[in-house]
Each structure stands twice: as C-alpha cells, then as structure tokens.
Structure 1
Amino acid sequence: MKLTATHKALALVFSFGLMAGCSSTGDTMGDDGSMGGTGGTSGQESGTTVFGGEDGSGVSSSEMTEQQRREAEARAERAQEQAMREVTTFYFDFDTAEIKPEARDVLVAHARFLQANPDQNVRIEGHADERGTKEYNLALGERRANAVQRFLIVNGAARGQTETVSYGEEKPAVLGSGESVWAQNRRVELIFQ
C-alpha cells in the first residue's frame, strides 16, 4: 500500500492528537476521589503563585528571593496589625475589670502603634451596664479603663499618651435591659486623638 504525503500528514496529526489526549499529568487519584500530586511537594517548593491578577502577573514563590519573602511577610504582618487596630471596643464580663484573652492581641497591636507614634494620644473610656449604683458603676468603669491603660503601657505605650475616664452607666452603647444589652454596655472604648 502506497501512502501519499496527505495520508502521512493526517497520520502524524492523528498520532500527536492521540498522544496528547493520553498523556498523564503525574497526578494520582486518591481514595476519596480527589486529585493529588505524586511528589508530595509543598506549595513553596512547587512554585505556586502567591498573588496574581487575570493577566497572570502574580509572583511565584519559586522566583522570590529570601529578602522578598521577608518583606512580604512584614507587609502582611503590618496589614494584620492595621486590621486589628480597627477594633477599638473591648467587652468585659459582669462585675469584673479583667481583660478577656481574645482582646489581648488587639491591645498589643494598639500598644505597638502608640510606641511607634509617640505624638499619638488615646483616651480610654470605661463603661458599665445599668445594674448597680451610679457610684459603683463609675468605679467599675474606672477599673476597666485603668486595666486597659496598664496593659497598653506594659506593652510599649507611654503613660503620657494615655488618659482614662469613666462614664459608668451614663453612656450606654445600647438602650434597654437584658443580658445581651448589658453585655454590649460593659466595655472600654479607645478614642485616638
């Protein structure tokens, strides 16, 4: 059988198409049906894109130098601290001036900001819910404000940058009665000046 040039070209195209369709990516199918790579490499080792737009202008981690990685980590840390500093209200449990554990990292971010910006001042306003006498609630609001002030100073803020004031029950965040309302009124607010 004699093959013409056209037949040879078609056979060649068909062969390449067949090979391309049957080629393997090296991924294996897991027991749960998910695709997984065979090498078990992490994203950094395999050169994944750290960020990128639709135009493919992302930065590959395999192309980043150690200095660029440190700079990117520092930028991410600054962005996280900036986001934490947007939280300026801290809540307290009933009849206590103890700072909650979930508020500590945010207060540390505020203290670092004050330390890095010595011309920045903050007024620390203590509040209480409506239960108790006015005098007791003023004292409780003051204890809460003083607790936050001490925490900020221990973590880097200067005493001269902070001022405390207690409003007791006089400036509720939410009007009404009941545990959900009272919980929102037991607070300290940071007012940056």
Structure 2
Amino acid sequence: MTIRKTTAMIAAITMLAVGACSKKAPETLPPAPAGTDAGSDSGIGNAVIPGSQQDFIANVSSDRIYFDFDQYNVDAEDQATLRSQAEWLQRNPNVRVTLEGHADERGTRDYNLALGERRANAAKNYLASLGIDPSRIQVISYGKERPAELGSNEAAWAKNRRAVTVVIGQ
C-alpha cells in the first residue's frame, strides 16, 4: 500500500469516527428546574412571580439606561428610568440586583472594562441616592464583551453603551 492510499484511508476512518460520535437531540427534554414555568398549566397559568426578573421587566419603564460616547453621567431620561427601578426595588425590599456596565467596541479591552464599571457605579449611586440600600446592588463590568447589538456603526454602538439591571435573587 502506498503512503497516499494509507493517508486517504486514515482520513476516511477519522471522518467516520467523528461522524459516529456526533450528538443527537434527545427524544424527550429533561424537566425544567424547580420554581420555573415549564409551559404547563400548573394552576397559576402564566403568572409572574413577584420579585422575579419577569416582574421587574413588567413593572419598570426599562431594565437599562444608555450613555453617550465615552460618558458615564446619568442624564434626565436615565434618572426617570432609575426612579422607576427604585420604586420597584422599594416594593420588593428583599430583592438584590446586579448592575451590568457595558461599552461599545471602540477602545481597548481594559479601557472599556473601566468605563463599564463607571457606568454601572453611576447607576448604583443614583439608586442609592433614591434610598436603595447599596448592599443590595452588585456591580460588574463586561466592557465591550457582551454587545446587545452587533455592528460597527453609531446605531449599534448607542445600544451597547448601557447599564442593565438584573434581578439576582432575594
């Protein structure tokens, strides 16, 4: 057998072996985690659990605020959004949240991580000024690593310069 034929046989066997190992979708899905709505009628229909992320989204004006290029100041529109969030947090005093800071793709990774943190802290400080206990608010920055909108244009960048409030539990 020549080297060329041996190499071709090894390649064919490898492709067959890899193809045979590919995962197939299960016929039935595992049950949903406890405390979640798996879509079945459990007597409460599609009721939103008080204090959950779904409750938060349903009852605040928005879960996010947006920033201008290279800025982290909370403007009047952001203040209105954060007042809405603060009212919800006051009605749910046991809920804790994480404020996620984000930046657009321009700038270095380190610079955008720092900018995202300043944005999240600006939102946290405003919520604290409205009477929300700062110990209920964690801050994390993702910089440019988790864009909300893909694209290299002003419309995409504007949606990526944000701070997002996420309910993490009670």
Q: TM tier, shorter chain?
A: 0.5 to 0.7
What is the letter of the counterpart of residue 145 of structure 2? E
Question: 1:110: Cα distance to partner?
Answer: 1.2
Structure number with higher relative contact order (C-alpha < 8 Å, ≥ 6 residues apart): 2
1:170 maps to which residue?
145
Unaligned runs of 5+ in 1: 1-81
Contact 1:123–1:190 under 8 Å retained in 2: yes
- How has the CA–CA distance of structure 1 residues 83 and 102 changed in structure 2, closer, same or farther, with 3 Å as cutoff? farther
The 4+ residue runs of structure 1 with deviation greater than 2 A are none
Deviations 1:70-94 (A, max 9, x none): xxxxxxxxxxxx9661410111000
SS of the residue 2:139 aligns to:
strand
CA distance in 2, matches of 1:106, 1:172: 21
Question: 1:113: Cα distance to partner?
Answer: 2.1
1:29 maps to which residue?
none
Contact 1:123–1:165 under 8 Å retained in 2: yes
Query: RMSD across aligned C-alpha pairs, in angstroms?
Result: 1.8
Decide which structure has the larger Cα Rg and report it.
1
2:83 maps to which residue?
108
Asked if 1:136 is matched to 2:136, the reply is no
2:125 maps to which residue?
150
CA distance in 1, matches of 2:112, 2:166: 20
Contact 1:115–1:158 under 8 Å retained in 2: no
CA distance in 2, matches of 1:156, 1:166: 23
CA distance in 2, matches of 1:159, 1:89: 18
Contact 1:95–1:140 under 8 Å retained in 2: yes
What is the letter of the counterpart of residue 153 of structure 1? A
Contact 2:61–2:84 under 8 Å retained in 1: no
1:98 maps to which residue?
73
Deviations 1:131-177 (A, max 9, x none): 01000000000000000000001101111110000000000001110
1:119 maps to which residue?
94
What is the letter of the counterpart of residue 132 of structure 1? G
Asked if 1:179 is matched to 2:154, the reply is yes
Q: How many pairs were matched up?
A: 113
Q: Of the candidates 153, 164, 170, which is equivalent to residue 189 of structure 1?
A: 164
What is the letter of the counterpart of residue 122 of structure 1? V
Q: Of the candidates 67, 74, 89, which is equivalent to residue 64 of structure 2?
A: 89
TM-score by length of 2: 0.62
CA distance in 1, matches of 2:107, 2:96: 31
Deviations 1:88-130 (A, max 9, x none): 0111000000112112122112112222322111110000001
Identical amino acids, percent of aligned pairs: 46
Unaligned runs of 5+ in 2: 1-56
TM-score by length of 1: 0.55
